[in-house]
Structure 1
Amino acid sequence: MPTFAHTPYDGSKKPFSIGLSPIPEERWLEPDERLLVELAEKDALLAEKRDVVFRAEPDTEASQREVLDAILAHLLARHPDRYRWDRDHILVDGSRSVPLSAAEPALATAARLVQDDLVLMRPGGAAGYRLVAAALCFPSAWSLAEKFGASLDGLHGNVPGYAEHLGVRMKRIFEGLKPGIIVERLNWSIYPDAELHHPESKERPRDWFGMDRSAFIRVERQTLRRMPASGDILFTIRVLVDPFGAFETHPDGRRLAAGLRAQLLALDPDQLRYKNLQDHRDLVAAELARIAGLSGP
């Protein structure tokens, strides 16, 4: 996948909005040139930090298997140049062998095949949809241990505007999503490093070592689809990270930097705090202005 594969800060999307768009099946999962590197990192996290990156309620086995089957069908049909059967394994890029073993939870096996994180949300009860299983190796500042079992409200309670505006709409979308429909949304954040595994709190201070190419734009590409047999909703999260320095070499980099700066400066205090940019907004905006050839902070 090229640099700046998804750019929700270019004016096409509005921050802190639901912003869901339907996509065709062929665009559901998007393996790129970092596939083997990121899958190796997932393997290490599943081995060394299992309780941090994987949780599942006992009655989710059938739903997990349904997810694995759906992902296998998609990858083998849509990306046959990168995925193929090898007896009881899936061979990825001709070199990585992923066993389809009943000894491992099916959702963990599915996570070893794709760069996306995988979260299962289950309907039921007064709380509505709950997080009942997840393989979450690359979180953007949230803890699976803290959020496991949480409802939609619990997962998004600290998102500015969720309780007032977004919550009711989100619940309606979850309830109305039909099998066979896939929807996508994008959001962005700014980090001082390119690490994918960020399970710490959003409120943890971030160290900034100067803005000379030391900041990174982190985009989350999220999709939702309902599993037809279980009725659960699969939430996929793909993280893409680009350094600010790439704005300076990309043909459209100045426009993209200007778009990110405009969205950053439009955030209100609560939104800045949520993105942990309240102390660094002007520093980041000034660097983006320099890249974009603009004046001002």
Structure 2
Amino acid sequence: MRVAPKPVQSFRNDFTYTNSSEAIKRFPFPFVEDEYRYSVNIESHTPKGGEGSVYEHFLDIDEHYLSEMAERAIVLEETPARCLSMEHMTLAGWDFLERMMVSLSEDYPSYFVLQRSDNEWCWENKLLNITDTFTFGDDSTLPMPPLDYIGRQVQGDFALLDQRDNDLFMDAGMITCPADWSLAFDAGMSFSEWHGPVPLAHNAGIFERALKYLTAIPVGSPARRLNWTLTINARMDTSPETYPSWGHERTSVTAENVAQKVYLRVELQVMDRMPRSNALLFSIRTYLISLEDISTNIEWAKRMHRAMKTLPKPLIDYKGLTRFHPLVVDYLSQFDK
């Protein structure tokens, strides 16, 4: 599907978010086997799946663009600290801005235009009615710092990881739609520290192998992986900071509403080396789909049922599924006869 943004829908309160039939078809379904286990499921981030695939371009802009940008503005208004950058990450912020602007303007020229003359740049975002001229590398010529400026115009969350001492440190980012984690809490942590709570993976050496791979990613060779969890309602922001707003929703699932209330939440995670700063960009593009929408694809429903019913209890607990996991398995079982 080519970009065709719908009018703004909400990810909170009345939850007017919906997926079109085209969005359902292109959803990045994460279960490739009948059982799910943690693994280093990383592949090269190259075009795959043909025109309209979520993997067609470096950045995926879809029908929810305006809705997600509206949600991002609300979150940043409520909690400005969801965007932060340590002093030594200034150059990485400009790296990030260049990567985003070049990718968007090349892949979606009907909506994004970038004109460059040496360090004098002009950026136009036709979807958000933004036009700015600035000097690349000079923060004073932009309305806000580069990470904050362009991060408000791209779907997904973004962390900029500083690489030093053969490790990665979360020293900058814009995280407004996280799945149960906090940039403010993880800021400055090393790769192993922010992955500390994940069960079953450490003894298998998964994170050690992943770190070795990530620190070796060169400029021009981005990699990707999928991650997933389940969330209640079409809520993007499930951060610890807002837990009082959404934590109780896990108790609201019943056999009657499970198909409408429970959403499969998939993250398309892309790792890309920044050329000037050597920082590693870690982008997290989130997609939401209800169990009701998944059931329109019987093969997906069967596969998900098998993955859910064999999910180890430590993963059920870690992903916060404990209260409603049996209801999900029961609902999906009808499609796996």
Compute the TM-score of the two structures, normalised by the length of structure 2: 0.79
Counterparts of 1:264-275 in structure 2, within 5 Å, are 264-275=308-319
**How far apart, in 1, do the equivalents of 2:330 and 2:274 lie?**
45
Q: Percent identity?
A: 22
Instruction: Tell me the secondary structure at the aligned position of residue 132 of structure 1.
Output: strand
Matched to 2:181, the amino acid is W
Say which SS state the counterpart of residue 219 (structure 2) adopts. Answer: coil
2:94 corresponds to which of 59, 65, 70: 65
What is the CA deviation profile of residues 88-140 of structure 1, one whole-angstrom value per residue up to 9, with x for unaligned ones? 442233x53264653412111121121011101111147x2100101001101
| 1:257 is aligned to 2:287 | no
Query: Alpha-carbon deviations, 1:235-276, whole Å to 9, x = none?
Result: 00011001111123x3xx111011111111222111111111
Partner of 1:90: 124
1:234 to 271, 275, 281: 281
C-alpha displacement of 1:179:
0.8
- Comparing 2-11 with 204-213, greater Cα deviation is found at 204-213
Match of 1:40 among 51, 57, 70: 70
Once the two structures are TM-superposed, the CA of residue 162 in structure 1 deviates from its matched residue by 3.0
CA distance in 1, matches of 2:318, 2:177: 18
1:41 aligns to what SS in structure 2?
Answer: helix
Following superposition, the deviation at residue 10 of structure 1 comes to 4.2
The answer on whether the counterparts of 2:45 and 2:224 sit within 8 Å (CA) in structure 1 is: yes
For 2:106, which of 77, 84, 87 is the aligned residue?
77
Structure 1 residues 155 and 188: alpha-carbon distance in aligned structure 2, compared to 1, 3 A threshold: same
Aligned to 1:129: 168
Matched, 1:50 2:80: yes
Deviations 1:181-233 (A, max 9, x none): 1111012111111110111289x562233114221111111000111221110
Residue in 2 that maps onto 1:23: 45
In the alignment, does 2:252 pair up with 1:208? yes
Shift of 1:85: 4.4
Deviation of residue 293 (structure 1)?
Answer: 4.8
**Cα distance in 2, alignment partners of residues 12 and 115 from structure 1:** 30
The whole-number CA distance in structure 1 between the counterparts of 2:223 and 2:61 is: 18
Give the 3-state SS of the residue equivalent to 2:164 in structure 1: coil
Partner in structure 2 of residue 168 of structure 1: 208
- Pair 1:237–1:185, CA change in 2 (3 A): same
Aligned to 2:269: 222
User: Is 270-279 or 179-188 further displaced after alignment?
Assistant: 270-279
Distance 1:85 1:44 in 2: 27
Give the distance between the partners of 1:180 and 1:85, measured in 2 at CA: 20
In 2, Cα distance between equivalents of 1:145 and 1:50: 11
How far apart, CA to CA, are the structure 2 residues paired with 1:11 and 1:28?
26
Provide the residue aligned with 2:186 in structure 1.
147
Cα distance 1:64–1:13, how it changes in 2: closer, same or farther (>3 A)? Answer: farther
Distance 1:245 1:160 in 2: 29
What is residue 152 of structure 2 aligned with on the other side? 112
TM-score with structure 1 setting the length:
0.89
Q: How many Å apart are 1:78 and its aligned residue?
A: 1.2
Structure 2 regions of 5+ residues with no counterpart?
A: 2-22, 48-55, 116-120, 135-140
What is the CA–CA distance in structure 2 between the aligned matches of 1:149 and 1:268, rounded to whole Å? 31
Query: How far, CA to CA, are the matches of 1:23 and 1:10 in structure 2?
Result: 18
The one-letter amino acid paired with 1:5 is F
Distance across 2 between alignment mates of 1:21 and 1:187: 13
- What residue in structure 1 maps to residue 11 of structure 2? none
Number of matched pairs: 287
Is the deviation greater in 16-25 or in 66-75? 16-25
1:193 aligns with 2:207: no
State the Cα distance separating 1:47 from its structure 2 match.
2.3
Structure 1 unaligned runs (5+)?
A: none
1:10–1:256 contact (8 Å) kept in structure 2 = no
Distance 1:56 1:285, change over 3 A: same
Helix, strand or coil: the match of 2:240?
A: coil
Kept in 2, the 8 Å contact 1:181–1:225? The answer is: yes
